[in-house]
Amino acid sequence: MASVTFRDETATGRRLDEMSLPGLPDRVTVRDLIRTRVREEVARHNARPSRHFRGLVRPDDAEAELNGYRLREPRAIDWERQADLAERAFQRNGFFLLVGDRQADDLDQVVELGVNTEIVFIRLVSLVGG
C-alpha cells in the first residue's frame, strides 16, 4: 500500500495546503486520485462543519476567500458533487496534477504510487463551480 501527500500550489509555486493519506493502492487512475482527495477533504470538513471550506473546488453557494471558500452557513458538503466538479475542472485545465515529477494528463491514466509519493495540484484559475 502506498502513502501519498496531496499538496496544492499556485502556478507560481506558492504552497497553499497539504494533507497526507496512507493506505492507497500502488496503482491507481488519476480519476481515483482526484476523487479520493476530494472525498477525504470533504470528510474532514463534514466531521466539523463550519463556514470555511478548504478544498480543491468551490462548493455551491460559497464565496472564494484567501485560503478556501466561505459557506453562507455551516453545513455538510456532498463529496460526490465536489468530486464531479473536480473532474470537470481537471478536464477544462482548471488545475493540473503532478504525480511525483510527472504530469498527469488524462483521468483514466494509471499512475504508480510509492511509499511517500507527492501529488501536487497546481491551480491555474479560480475554480468557481469546478
- Backbone φ and ψ for 8, nearest 5 degrees, come out as -100, 140
Residue 110 lies in a domain: yes
Residue 130 lies in a domain: no
Residue 128 lies in a domain: no
Q: What's the pLDDT band for 124 if we cut at 50, 70, 90?
A: confident
What's the pLDDT at 68?
86
For residues 123 and 44, the answer to whether their CB atoms sit within 8 Å is: no
What's the pLDDT at 130?
47
Provide mean pLDDT across the span 114-125.
88
What value, to the nearest 5°, has the Cα angle with vertex 46 and ends 28 and 2? 25
Task: Supply the range of the domain harboring residue 73.
Answer: 2-123
Give residue-wise pLDDT tens across range 63-86: 988 778 999 999 999 999 999 999
Is residue 77 left, alpha or beta, with left meaning phi > 0 and alpha meaning psi from -120 to 50? beta
Residue 26 lies in a domain: yes
What's the pLDDT at 65?
86
Q: Give the number of domains in the chain.
A: 1
Task: Check whether 128 has a pLDDT greater than 80.
Answer: no
Give residue-wise pLDDT tens across range 2-61: 999 999 998 888 888 899 999 999 999 999 999 999 999 999 999 999 999 999 999 988
What's the pLDDT at 125?
57
CA pair distance 117, 12, nearest whole angstrom = 21
Residue 38 lies in a domain: yes
Cα–Cα distance list, 67 to 48, 52, 81 (Å): 18, 9, 21
Residue 129 lies in a domain: no
Tell me the one-letter amino acid at 33.
L
